[in-house]
C-alpha cells in the first residue's frame, strides 16, 4: 500500500541531496558496470570462438606429430651432456611425416567412422595478378576432404577433378573477394581464366576452376580494406607438395561420421598410428578434437567469471557500506521527521519500510547506471576487438537483483534503527 508513496518519497529525498546520493552510488556503479562490461566482452569472445569452432566442426579430429618424451632417464642425462636434452624443439623431417600409405591404411581400417581426411600443405603467401589488378592470397594445397572438413561450399565452378589431382596440375579455387578485386565480381570471367600467382619467390600460372564464398573469421582482426584483404587460394594437394618439395604432412584432420564416439575414436587413432611410430626416435602421434578444446575453453571462461564475480563482490560490499553510512546520516538528519511521523500514528513497520525503500532505490539507481555504463563499455570494447557484441540479459538481471539485495542488506540496520526510535526523543531532537 505504502510502496508507491515510499518510492516517491525516496526520490524526493535523493533529489534534495543529488551530489551525496551520486557519491554514495559510485561504489555500486563501479561494481556493477565492471561486471557487465567484462561479461559483455567475455560472452562476445566466447560466442564467436564457439561459432568458429562449431564451423570447424566439433566432431573433427586433428591428428599431429608430437615430440616424444625421453623414456630412459639415463639416456636423457647423457643427451643433456651432449646439449641435446629435453626442451630442445625438433621439427619433423621428411622421414617423420605421415605418408599417403599410412592414411590409406587408416581409412581402410575404419571405413564406417571416417568420412573424409583433410590434409593441407601451406605455401608462402602471395598475390594474384591480372594486368594492373591484384589480390592478396594465402595459397595452400588441399585434399578433397578439406572442403568437407571446413564446410566450404563453392558459389560457382567446381572442385578439383581426379585428372587435375593426378597430374599435379595448376588448378585453383579462389574466393569471391579475390574475384571482386580481379574481375570486378564477374565470376563467369574468372572461371577458366589463367592468371599469374606470385608465392614467395615463385612465379606461377594458375587456372581458376572454382570460386568459394569468403567468411570473416575472428582471426581476421583489424580493418584491412577489402582491396588488401588476404584470402585463401586452394591448389590440389600434390601440386603444392611439388612446389614445397615434400611428400607428407605433420598433421591432418579427420571428419568423423556423426554417430561416432569421438573420445574413444581419438584413442583408437593414436594407437593405430603409434604402431608406425613405435620405432621413431623423436616423434609420436597425438590426436584431439575441437569438442575437447571447447570444454577446456569453457572451464577457463568459468574461472575468469568467478574471478570477476569476486572483484565485483568486493566493490559491491564497499558500495553497500557506503549506502549504510549515508542512510545512518540521513536518519539522524531526519530524526524530527521520524518523530512527527510517529506522532501522526505511523507504525514502526511503516518507518522501517520507508528507509528500506530509500536504500533500495539508491542501490537500484546505482545498479541501473552501472548496467548502462557497463553495457556501453562492453559494446565499445567488442567493437574495438571487432567482435559481435552480445550484452548478456541474464547478467543484467542478476546485477539488478544483486544491487537490490545490497540495498536490503545494508539498509536494514539503519531502517530498523529509525523504526525503533522513541517518538518523544525523536520529536525533541535538536
Partner 1 sequence: MEERRKMIEMTGIVKKYFIDTPNELAALNGVDLTVHEGEFLAVVGASGSGKSTLMNIIGTLDRPTEGHYTLDGVDTNAAKDSELSSIRNQKVGFVFQTYNLIARTSALMNVELPMLYGGMSRKERNERAEELLRMVGMEERMKHRPEELSGGQKQRVAIARAMGNDPSIILADEPTGALDSSTGRMVMDLFHQLHDEKGKTIILITHSPELAEETERIITLKDGAVISEREGSGHAVV
Q: Which is nearer to partner 1, 177 or 342 (CB)?
A: 342
Q: Which is nearer to partner 1, 227 or 336 (CB)?
A: 336
Residues contacting partner 1: total by CB under 8 A: 24
Q: How far apart are CA 372 and CA 364, in angstroms?
A: 12
User: Is residue 161 near partner 1 by the rule CB under 8 A?
Assistant: no
The binding track of 191-220 with respect to partner 1, each residue x by CB under 8 A or -, is ------------------------------
Q: Which is nearer to partner 1, 39 or 327 (CB)?
A: 327
Question: By C-alpha distance, which of 298, 259, 294 is closest to 112?
Answer: 259
Q: Which stretch binds partner 1 (CB under 8 A): 13-21, 49-57, 292-300, 301-309?
A: 13-21
The CA-CA-CA angle for residues 95, 65, 113, to 5°, reads 110
Q: Which is nearer to partner 1, 192 or 347 (CB)?
A: 347
User: Is residue 293 near partner 1 by the rule CB under 8 A?
Assistant: no
**Burial profile 37-49: b = 16 or more Cβ within 10 angstroms, e = fewer:** bbbbbbbbbbebb
Q: How far apart are CA 423 and CA 419, in angstroms?
A: 10
CB of 329 to partner 1, least distance (A): 16
Distance of CA 421 to the CA centre of its chain: 55
CB of 334 to partner 1, least distance (A): 8
CB of 346 to partner 1, least distance (A): 5
Q: Which of residues 97-116 bind partner 1 (CB under 8 A)?
A: none
- CA dist 183 → 170, 193, 370 (Å): 20, 10, 51
Q: How far apart are CA 268 and CA 266, in angstroms?
A: 6
The CB density around residue 103, as the number of other CB atoms within 10 Å, is: 21
Q: 368: which 3 cell numbers?
A: 541501473
Backbone phi, psi, residue 22, to 5°: -65, -45
- As a dihedral over the C-alpha atoms of residue 234, residue 240, residue 243, residue 247, rounded to 10 degrees, the angle is 170
Helices (DSSP H) in 2-131: which residue ranges? 3-16, 18-56, 73-81, 100-109
Q: Which is nearer to partner 1, 237 or 351 (CB)?
A: 351
Q: What are residue 179's DSSP bridge partners?
A: none
User: Is residue 80 near partner 1 by the rule CB under 8 A?
Assistant: no
CB of 403 to partner 1, least distance (A): 25
Q: Which stretch binds partner 1 (CB under 8 A): 192-200, 278-286, 295-303, 421-429?
A: 421-429
User: Is residue 424 near partner 1 by the rule CB under 8 A?
Assistant: yes
Distance of CA 408 to the CA centre of its chain: 36
CB of 389 to partner 1, least distance (A): 42
Q: Which is nearer to partner 1, 15 or 163 (CB)?
A: 15
Q: Which is nearer to partner 1, 377 or 427 (CB)?
A: 427
Q: How far apart are CA 39 and CA 43, in angstroms?
A: 6
Q: Which is nearer to partner 1, 339 or 378 (CB)?
A: 339
Q: Which of residues 338-397 bind partner 1 (CB under 8 A)?
A: 339-348, 350
Interface residues with partner 1 (CB under 8 A) are: 1-2, 5, 9, 12-13, 15-16, 336-337, 339-348, 350, 423-424, 427
Amino acid at each position: 500500500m505504502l510502496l508507491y508513496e515510499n518510492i516517491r518519497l525516496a526520490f524526493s529525498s535523493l533529489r534534495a541531496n543529488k551530489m551525496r546520493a551520486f557519491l554514495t552510488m559510485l561504489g555500486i556503479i563501479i561494481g556493477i558496470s565492471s561486471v557487465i562490461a567484462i561479461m559483455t566482452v567475455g560472452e562476445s569472445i566466447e560466442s564467436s570462438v564457439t561459432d568458429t569452432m562449431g564451423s570447424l566442426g566439433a566432431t573433427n579430429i586433428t591428428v599431429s606429430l608430437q615430440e616424444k618424451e625421453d623414456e630412459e632417464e639415463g639416456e636423457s642425462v647423457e643427451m643433456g651432456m651432449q646439449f641435446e636434452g629435453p626442451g630442445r624443439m625438433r621439427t619433423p623431417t621428411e622421414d617423420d611425416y605421415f605418408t599417403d600409405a599410412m592414411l590409406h591404411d587408416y581409412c581402410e581400417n575404419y571405413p564406417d567412422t571416417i568420412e573424409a581426411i583433410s590434409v593441407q600443405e601451406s605455401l608462402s603467401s602471395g598475390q594474384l595478378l591480372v594486368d594492373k589488378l591484384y589480390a592478396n592470397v594465402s595459397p595452400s594445397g588441399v585434399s578433397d576432404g578439406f572442403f568437407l572438413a571446413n564446410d566450404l561450399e563453392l558459389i560457382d565452378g567446381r572442385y578439383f577433378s581426379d585428372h587435375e589431382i593426378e597430374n599435379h596440375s595448376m588448378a585453383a579455387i579462389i574466393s569471391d573477394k579475390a574475384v571482386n578485386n580481379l574481375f570486378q565480381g564477374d565470376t563467369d570471367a574468372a572461371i577458366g581464366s589463367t592468371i599469374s600467382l606470385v608465392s614467395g619467390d615463385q612465379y606461377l600460372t594458375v587456372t581458376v576452376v572454382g570460386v568459394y564464398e569468403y567468411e570473416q573469421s575472428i582471426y581476421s582482426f583489424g580493418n584491412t580494406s577489402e582491396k588488401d584483404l588476404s584470402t585463401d587460394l586452394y591448389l590440389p594437394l600434390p601440386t603444392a607438395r611439388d612446389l614445397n618439395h615434400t611428400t607428407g604432412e605433420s598433421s591432418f584432420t579427420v571428419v568423423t561420421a556423426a554417430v561416432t564416439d569421438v573420445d574413444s575414436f581419438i584413442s583408437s587413432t593414436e594407437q593405430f598410428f603409434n604402431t608406425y611410430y613405435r620405432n621413431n626416435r623423436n616423434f609420436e602421434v597425438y590426436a584431439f578434437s575441437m569438442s575437447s578444446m571447447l570444454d577446456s575453453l569453457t572451464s577457463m571462461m568459468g574461472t575468469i567469471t568467478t574471478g570477476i564475480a569476486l572483484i565485483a563482490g568486493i566493490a559491491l560490499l564497499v558500495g553497500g557500506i557506503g549506502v549504510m553510512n549515508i542512510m545512518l546520516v540521513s536518519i539522524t538528519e531526519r530524526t524530527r521527521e521520524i518523530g512527527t511521523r510517529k506522532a501522526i500514528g505511523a507504525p514502526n513497520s511503516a518507518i522501517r519500510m520507508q528507509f528500506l525503500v530509500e536504500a533500495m532505490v539508491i542501490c537500484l539507481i546505482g545498479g541501473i547506471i552501472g548496467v548502462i555504463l557497463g553495457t556501453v563499455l562492453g559494446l565499445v570494447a567488442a567493437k574495438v576487438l571487432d567482435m559481435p557484441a552480445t550484452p548478456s540479459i541474464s547478467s543484467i538481471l542478476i546485477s539488478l537483483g544483486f544491487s537490490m539485495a545490497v540495498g536490503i542488506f545494508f539498509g536494514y540496520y539503519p531502517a530498523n534503527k529509525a523504526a525503533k526510535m522513541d517518538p518523544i526523543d525523536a520529536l525533541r531532537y535538536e
